């Protein structure tokens, strides 16, 4: 079990401190009062309709859809004024569901052909789609089921003429708990009222987790035994360790409060030294870039002294309006990003999408069409984005990165498309930089094994550890039963990374590690030890990785890497790395 129990197997008395383990989803720690959310996703009544009732029922359903859309639009407008940029994309994901005719029209068809009420039709259609999500082999896409559940919840509320829950009377130290807390709940909250989040289900890849990180709310997910916690209970949420402490002792409370005060002091201390190069104790220069999801984030990156935008995931902006942008809009958007970076190079990853941008019938159970595969199957979309990128290139330094490349054939096909796009721009006599560097993501075992062959065809490479580790170890990161096996310190992963660096070294092509492994100080230290000298991390992790780099010896880490490559057990590797990094 994940919760401390007595010798008799019973839960300890509420007065005693005990620990509930889950998955770290958003960094930080919080002390506060539990506020339990009960899931209103239910159908209160199902019944058959008379023929003369069908048109009225369809109108009733469509009114619920329109009301839901209006609610989300209002939330989006308010969030644009008060919260982070990632939030807008998350609301767009909900609006896309309401705009999907294959979702809405299927419900209408159920009402008309089976003569059933709206609630019953929604239940049947959503159950089919949720089962399809559960069968997916892609952890990121499976997490999108939460978007659908949230929309169904909202539709049912509006059909029942119930007001959506109000949170204005929450205490100012609220820690939201529940089986699942939908992202729209966080959309509609003032962040000052919520200090922490803990759920029984979910993973760091869910939209709720993304929102928590955007709002800098500490979060733990997959903590199954939270069901025993009640509203009003005192909790500590430790988003760094994936731990919830229920009824903490005074000693534990004091420890975490001291940590909070120390962290505030530390932030003030490092904020004054945000700029300047990242150099190790033995004077080795490390390049440290920032990963962003939305164009607005580039200003924050520039203000924090980030050396570059090492990874800009363009799909979030590309689909944020619920429809594809035209070429001129892309030129304008990408030019803005390049200018806002103030001379820092920007690496634009072309859209990495799969079934979440297709119809419901397009569900792909085998990860077939995503990344570059998707782009090559949809060349009109791919070429439009490439034209936008090339035309924006006259505004400053930038690079084009191709995601999810697994074969030389796909890479060659992409290079042909790139050449076609440049030819089209030449015919139009439109200005662009013909020397824009083009690179590939190394995030599949196939790409890792052939990275030297790919290097001969590109200008640079980026290593995506998230997918690489998952595919190498055959582990679904969203499956809580095997989540503990996802381990960057596994000998297979260390050997794979060592092999990639060894294969690429003779080519002279630069490589940047941009996965979450680079955002964790001990794991990032391993990357440095293996010889990687360019990292790119999310904005929240940037300060701590900068501090780590400045506090270690590159030569010592190289020696450490040589030692851990001979070790057999991940936990022993991690212990040795942590002892070196933190000098314990």
Q: 452, 454, 326, 436: which is closest to 392 by C-alpha?
A: 436
Is 514 annotated in the active site?
A: yes
Is 207 annotated in the active site?
A: yes
Within 10 A of 153 (CB to CB), how many other CB atoms are there? 21
For residue 353 the two structure tokens come to 């999408």
User: Which residue among the candidates 18, 94, 157, 207 is catalytic per the annotation?
Assistant: 207
Let me know if 275 is exposed, middle or buried by CB neighbors in 10 A (0-12, 13-18, 19+): exposed
Locate all alpha helices (DSSP H) within 429-509, ordered by sequence.
445-449, 451-455, 465-473, 491-504
Cα dihedral sign for 464, 469, 472, 476? negative
- Number of residues in the chain: 584
**458 and 440 in contact (C-beta within 8 Å)?**
yes
For residue 219, give the DSSP letter. Answer: E
Residues 6+ apart with CB under 8 A from 328: none
For residue 123 the two structure tokens come to 């239940």
Q: Which helix (H) or strand (E) holds 271?
A: helix 250-271
Q: What are phi and psi of 167, to 5 degrees?
A: -120, 15
Provide long-range contacts, Cβ within 8 A and 24+ apart, for 579-582.
580/525, 580/552, 580/556, 581/521, 581/522, 581/525, 581/548, 581/551, 581/552, 582/522
**298 and 341 in contact (C-beta within 8 Å)?**
yes
The rounded distance, in Å, linking the Cα atoms of 298 and 322 is 22
Secondary structure of 409-442 in HEC code, one letter for each residue: HHHHHHHHHHHHHHHHHHHHCCCCCCCCCEEEEE
Residues 6+ apart with CB under 8 A from 177: 34, 35, 36, 37, 197, 198, 199, 226, 229, 235
The rounded distance, in Å, linking the Cα atoms of 529 and 532 is 7
The rounded distance, in Å, linking the Cα atoms of 305 and 260 is 25
The rounded distance, in Å, linking the Cα atoms of 233 and 100 is 41
Q: Which residues participate in catalysis according to the annotation?
A: 207, 514
């Amino acid at each position: 079990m994940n919760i401390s129990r007595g010798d008799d197997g019973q839960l300890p008395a509420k007065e005693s401190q005990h620990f509930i383990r889950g998955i770290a989803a958003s960094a930080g720690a919080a002390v506060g009062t539990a506020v339990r959310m009960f899931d209103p996703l239910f159908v209160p009544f199902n019944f058959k309709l008379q023929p003369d009732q069908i048109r009225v029922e369809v109108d009733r359903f469509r009114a619920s859809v329109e009301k839901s859309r209006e609610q989300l639009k209002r939330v989006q407008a308010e969030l644009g004024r008060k919260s982070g940029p990632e939030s807008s994309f998350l609301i767009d994901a909900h609006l896309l569901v309401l705009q999907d005719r294959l979702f809405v029209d299927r419900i209408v068809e159920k009402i008309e052909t089976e003569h059933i009420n709206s609630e019953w039709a929604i239940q049947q259609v959503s159950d089919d789609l949720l089962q399809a999500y559960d069968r997916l082999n892609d952890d990121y896409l499976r997490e999108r089921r939460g978007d659908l559940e949230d929309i169904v919840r909202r539709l049912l509320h509006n059909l029942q003429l119930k007001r959506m829950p109000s949170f204005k009377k929450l205490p100012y130290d609220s820690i939201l708990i529940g089986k699942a807390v939908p992202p729209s709940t966080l959309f509609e909250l003032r962040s000052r009222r919520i200090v922490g989040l803990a759920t029984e289900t979910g993973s760091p890849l869910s939209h709720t987790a993304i929102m928590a990180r955007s709002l800098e709310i500490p979060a733990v997910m997959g903590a199954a035994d939270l069901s025993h916690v009640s509203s009003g209970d005192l909790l500590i949420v430790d988003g760094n360790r994936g731990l919830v402490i229920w009824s903490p002792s005074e000693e534990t409370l004091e420890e975490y409060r001291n940590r909070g005060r120390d962290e505030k002091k530390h932030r003030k201390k490092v904020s004054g030294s945000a700029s300047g190069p990242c150099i190790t104790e033995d004077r080795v220069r490390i390049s440290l870039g920032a990963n962003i999801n939305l164009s607005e984030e580039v200003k924050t990156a520039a203000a924090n002294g980030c050396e570059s935008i090492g990874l800009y995931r363009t799909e979030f902006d590309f689909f944020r309006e619920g429809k594809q942008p035209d070429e001129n809009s892309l030129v304008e958007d990408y030019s803005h990003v390049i200018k806002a970076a103030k001379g820092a190079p920007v690496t634009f990853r072309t859209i990495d999408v799969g079934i979440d941008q297709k119809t419901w019938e397009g569900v792909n159970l085998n990860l077939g069409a995503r990344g570059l595969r998707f782009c090559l199957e949809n060349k009109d979309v791919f070429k439009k984005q490439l034209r936008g990128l090339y035309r924006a290139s006259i505004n400053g330094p930038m690079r084009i990165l191709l995601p999810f490349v697994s074969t030389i054939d796909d890479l060659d096909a992409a290079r042909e498309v790139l050449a076609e796009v440049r030819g089209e721009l030449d015919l139009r006599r439109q200005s662009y930089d013909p020397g824009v560097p083009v690179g590939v993501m190394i995030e599949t075992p196939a790409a890792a094994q052939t990275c030297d062959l790919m290097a001969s065809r590109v200008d640079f490479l980026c290593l995506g550890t998230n997918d690489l580790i998952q595919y190498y170890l055959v582990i679904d990161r969203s499956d809580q039963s095997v989540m503990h096996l996802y381990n960057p310190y596994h000998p297979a992963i260390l050997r794979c990374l060592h092999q990639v660096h060894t294969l690429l070294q003779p080519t002279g092509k630069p490589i940047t590690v941009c996965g979450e492994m680079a955002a964790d100080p001990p794991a990032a230290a391993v990357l440095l030890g293996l010889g990687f000298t360019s990292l790119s991390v999310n904005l929240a992790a940037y300060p701590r990785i900068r501090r780590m780099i400045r506090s270690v010896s590159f030569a010592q880490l190289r020696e450490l890497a040589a030692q851990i490559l001979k070790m057999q057990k991940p936990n022993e590797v991690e212990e040795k790395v942590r002892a070196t990094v933190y000098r314990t």
